[in-house]
Structure 1
Amino acid sequence: MVNKTHQKQVEQRRAARRAAREAERAAQRRRLAVTITAIVAVLAVVGGVFLVIGLGGDDDAPAANPSTSPSAPVSTGPASAENRATSIPAALFPAPKRVTPLPAEVDCTYNKGAEPASKPVDAPANGKTPATGTTPVTLATTIGDLKFTIDKAAGPCAAKSFLSLVGQKYYDNTECHRMTVGKGLQVLQCGDPTGQGSGGPGYAFQEEAWKELKYGRGTLAMAKTQAAASTGSQFFIVYGDGSGLTPDYTAFGTVDAASLKKIDAVALKGVTPVNGPGDGKPITPVKITSATAAS
C-alpha cells in the first residue's frame, strides 16, 4: 500500500512538472507572438513613414519622391521581375490638350523656394507669358538623344521655366535619379542636380493641371511635392503606363517615339529599389550631358 501511494505521488509530481513545463512553453509562445506582432506593427509604421518621407522632397515624383533619399544599394545582378518593367504599352498616348483653352497670355509667378538652388540659376521673370506655340528640346544623354516638344498651350508657366533652365545649362551633367516600372506608374524622373530627388532651382510655381488631365506613354510633366505651388525643376517622362497618376502634375509637352524606345530599354533592365519594389535608381544610368532648345 505504501509503495502504491509513493508511486502515485511520484507520478503526480511528474505530471505537475510536465504541466508546469508546458505552461511555461505556452507562455513563451504567447510572449513571442506578442513580440512578433509588435515588430510587425512597428515595421508597418516605419514603412509608412519611409514612404511618406521617401516620397516627399523638393520635387515629388508622381505619387512619390525622396526628400532625403537613402543611397541606393549596389546591384549585384539582374533585377527581379518586380524591379523591372515586364510590360510596356506600345501606343503613344494623346498629347495633353486642355478642354478649355487658355487665353493668349497668362500671368506666371515664380516664388522663392524653401531651399536654396541646388545649382546656381536665375528664376524666370514674373508676368505675362505666351500660352501658345511649341518649342523642340533635345536632351543629349548617355542612352542617346531624347527629343521633347514643349507645348506652351498645355503648361505655359512650366514651359517658360523649363526653357529658362535649359538655356542656363541647369540640366547639363545631371542624372535621372528615379524610375518606376510597375503597373499604373512607369516614369523616368530627372531634373535634380543633386541626383537624390531633393534638389530644386531655388524657386517654385503654381501647378497648371486640369481635372480631365490624363497621362500616358509620351507625356512630359513636372514633378511636385504634396504641397500646392511646389513645382520646380524636376520633371518626369511617362514612358509607359500612367493610369495610376492623379491630375495633379503639370503636363507641358511630349516625348517622341524613338526616345521612348531608348527609355524602354532602361526600364527592361530594371531598377535598384530605393522607395520600394519597382521604384528606385535605374540600373542603366541615364545622365543628361546637355540640354538644348531650338531657337
Structure 2
Amino acid sequence: MPIERDRERAKRRYAKRQKNLAERAARKRRNQQVIGAVLAVVLVAGGVVLLTQLLPDDSSSSAAGATSSPTANASGSTAPTKTPKSYPSAPAKSLAENATWNATVKTSAGDITMELYGDKAPQTVASFIFLSKDGFYDDTSCHRLTTSGIYVLQCGDPTGTGSGGPGYQYGIENAPKDGKYPAGTLAMARGDDPNTNGSQFFMVYKDTDLPTTTGGYSIFGKVTNGLDVLQTVAAAGTADGSADGAPKTPVTIESITVEKK
C-alpha cells in the first residue's frame, strides 16, 4: 500500500537521521575527549618543562667550552658566562652544620641578603659556603626567570645555560612535604634525580607551589633583605616576553660573602 510504503520510508529516514545525529554526537564527544587529553598533556608537559628547566642536570659537562665573554643566551639577552671550576667532591657537612649563616649577594640589580640554614640543610649550606668563598659564583648570571605558575629567579650556573655545575652532586635536604615555597625562600635547583643538587639555586619572589613527587627541593635559607630587588626584576619580565626565560633586566652576581651568625 502507498501509505504503508510512505510510512516505511519515513521510518527509514527518521532512523537514518537518528543514526547521523548519534554519530555526530559521538564524534563531538571524541573530539572533546581528545581536546581535553591534549590540553591535559600540554598543561602537564608545560609544568614538566618548567620544572625540568628549573631543576637542571648539574651532571652535564657541556659547559666545558664556555667562553669568559658575554654571550647571547637562548632568549637573546647577553649575560656573562665562564668555564666553571670543577671539584672532585662536595665539602663536608661539618663546614656548616649546627649553625646559621648570613650571606650577602652583591648583584648588578642590587644587594640581596640571606640567612642560611646550616642546622636544617648542612650539606647544601656547606656547598654554598664553599663555592661562595672560592669565587665560583662571582661574575655569573641569574640565567632564568619564571613568571607564571612558578615565581623564581634562578642563578648559580657559570655557563649561563642551565646545565653547568661544580662537578659534584648531592641529595635533597629540608624539602617541604606540602610543596609550598613562600616568597623569600632560597632553595636548590636540581634534575629529575633527587641526588642532582649542585650549584644552581633559586630565589622565590612570590609564593610558589612545587610538586613533591620526586622529593621536592631543598630549602636552605631565606631572603632577609632585597626581596624588592627580585620583585623589580620579575616585574620587568623576560627578555623575549615569554613566561620562562632570561630576565629582561640582566642580573649578574658580582660576589657572595658568607659569615657565621
TM-score after normalising by structure 1 = 0.60
Q: 1:189 aligns with which of 154, 159, 162?
A: 154
Q: Which residue of 2 aligns with 1:282?
A: 247
Q: Which residue of 1 aligns with 2:228?
A: 261
Compared CA separation, residues 273 and 167, structure 1 to 2 (3 A) = same
Compared CA separation, residues 121 and 241, structure 1 to 2 (3 A) = same
Q: Distance in 1 between matches of 2:234 and 2:195?
A: 30
SS at match of 2:128: helix
CA deviation vs aligned residue, 1:59-90 (integer Å, no higher than 9, x gap): 49xxxxxx99x942437xxxxxxxxxxxxxxx
Report the AA paired with residue 219 of structure 2: A
Q: 2:135 aligns with which of 161, 169, 190?
A: 169
Q: Does 1:250 align with 2:215?
A: no
Q: Which residue of 2 aligns with 1:51?
A: 49
Q: Distance in 1 between matches of 2:124 and 2:140?
A: 19
- Which has the greater radius of gyration? 1
Q: Distance in 1 between matches of 2:118 and 2:125?
A: 6
Compared CA separation, residues 130 and 200, structure 1 to 2 (3 A) = closer
User: Where does 1:28-47 land on structure 2 (aligned, <5 Å)?
Assistant: none
Compared CA separation, residues 74 and 212, structure 1 to 2 (3 A) = closer
Q: Which residue of 1 aligns with 2:30?
A: none
Q: Distance in 1 between matches of 2:244 and 2:95?
A: 36
Report the AA paired with residue 164 of structure 1: F
RMSD: 3.3
Q: 1:203 aligns with which of 151, 168, 173?
A: 168
CA deviation vs aligned residue, 1:183-205 (integer Å, no higher than 9, x gap): x3110000000011010000000
SS at match of 2:153: strand
Report the AA paired with residue 253 of structure 1: G
Q: Which residue of 1 aligns with 2:110?
A: 144
Q: Distance in 2 between matches of 1:151 and 1:72?
A: 34
User: Where does 1:127-138 land on structure 2 (aligned, <5 Å)?
Assistant: 128=94, 131-138=97-104
Compared CA separation, residues 155 and 290, structure 1 to 2 (3 A) = same
1:206–1:229 CA contact under 8 A, matched in 2: yes
Report the AA paired with residue 191 of structure 1: G
CA deviation vs aligned residue, 1:81-101 (integer Å, no higher than 9, x gap): xxxxxxxxxxxxxxxxxxxxx
Q: Does 1:236 align with 2:202?
A: yes
Q: Distance in 1 between matches of 2:178 and 2:248?
A: 34
Report the AA paired with residue 84 of structure 2: S
Q: Distance in 1 between matches of 2:111 and 2:135?
A: 16
Report the AA paired with residue 223 of structure 2: V
Segments of structure 2 that go 5 or more residues without pairing to the other structure are: 1-37, 64-71, 78-82
SS at match of 2:119: coil
Q: 1:291 aligns with which of 247, 256, 261?
A: 256
Segments of structure 1 that go 5 or more residues without pairing to the other structure are: 1-40, 61-66, 76-116
CA deviation vs aligned residue, 1:218-261 (integer Å, no higher than 9, x gap): 100000000121100000000112124546100000002x4110
Compared CA separation, residues 145 and 176, structure 1 to 2 (3 A) = same
- Report the Cα offset of residue 289 of structure 1: 0.7
Q: Distance in 2 between matches of 1:239 and 1:293?
A: 22
Report the AA paired with residue 72 of structure 1: A
Q: Which residue of 2 aligns with 1:74?
A: 76
